[in-house]
Structure formats: C-alpha cells, structure tokens
Amino acid sequence: MTAGGPQAGPDGRLRCPWGLSTDDYRAYHDDEWGRAVHGDDALFERLCLEAFQSGLSWITILRRRDGFRRAFADFKIAEVATFTEADRERLLADEGIIRNRAKVDATLANARVLVDWAPGELDALIWSHAPDGATRPAPATLADVPAVTDESTALAKALKQKGLRFVGPTTAYALMQACGLVDDHLEGCVARGRV
C-alpha cells in the first residue's frame, strides 16, 4: 500500500484515508462524495456549503448540515431569494450554522441572482465544466489529488461572470469533487467508479 494511498477500514474494505477518520466522514465518503448531483437547488446547496467550508474543515460543515438546511429553507433558491434583512440577522445569530457575515451575504446574494435563471441553467452551467473522466487517471495517493484544475478555474470564472460570489477555483473544484463531476476517490478505494 502506498503512503497516502487507500487504507483498510473496520470492515476491511479500502477507502480514501480521509474517509476513515470519523464515522461521519466514512458515511459521507461511501454514500455521497463523488456521486452525481443534479438539480438547481441541490447544486445551490452544495455550492453554498463549499463556500461556508472555505478556511474550515469539511467535518465542521458536515456536522452542521442539518442546521444549514433548516436555516436556509432547505436551500430552495426561490425561498432563499426572498430572505429579508431580518432573516439575515437571524442567520447571523444561528448557532447551528457558521455565522460568517461574508458567507451568509454571499449565499443570499447568490440566491437573488439564481432565482432569475431558467430552470436547469445552474445545473447545465456546472456540468458543462465536467472534464472527460476517461482522460483523468485515478489518483494513487492523496498527493495526486489537485486542489484546483483548469476546469475548476473556468467554472469559477463562469459563475463569477454570471454574478455569483464566493466561488473561487478551489471552492469550484471541491464542488466538482463532491458532486461527481470528477472521481477523485483513490485507485483501489471501494467508492471509486460509483460516479
């Protein structure tokens, strides 16, 4: 087994090392991360959560995801777009989420932009940046997994040009990984190829 490569979990199956650190991570790794996500509201949620994760560990967001969903009306774009200043203040006082003013403001602003898009437009824009999986070798170790790619840089630029905030290339790549646009499960990982 290569250093930084897949490791055996309690069930003996190989997984990406990060997927073994907690039960929460293992469930997320096995059942969600890298699986295709479609739908404007579903992708809006992932985009928002990746932005909230910026500068923090993903486990912090994962463990507060239910709180985020309650606070942000299950990330229904049409509902979040109607949030008022009173809602903003409620969010900034909500201990169930990350109370970062810039990230809360970006989420509300992004919903107000997206509410005017045609149904399926966010889904189509994001998925148009998925690279050809056949041209990407499976990473052997965590060191082989990039933080930014040409595709994530292009996606971030496209989203920013459409008026979205808090969507840099690193956040865009994390979104691509989480939503199955790329399969960054390590070679030999039980979840590889489930995209």
Query: Per the residue annotation, which of 32, 58, 117, 187 is the catalytic one?
Result: 58
Neighbour tally for 174: CB within 10 Å: 22
Structure tokens at 113: 């932009």
Question: Residue 8 is inside which H or E element, if any?
Answer: strand 7-8
Q: Which residues have C-beta within 8 Å of that of residue 58, sequence separation ≥ 6?
A: 25
Task: Give the SS3 label for residue 7.
Answer: strand
Determine whether 28 is an active site residue.
yes
Query: SS3 letters for 129-152?
Result: CCCCHHHCCCCCCHHHCCCCCHHH
Query: Per the residue annotation, which of 18, 25, 28, 33 is the catalytic one?
Result: 28
Query: Per the residue annotation, which of 18, 25, 45, 50 is the catalytic one?
Result: 50
Q: How many CA atoms lie within 13 A of 91 on its CB side?
A: 24
Active site residues: 28, 50, 58
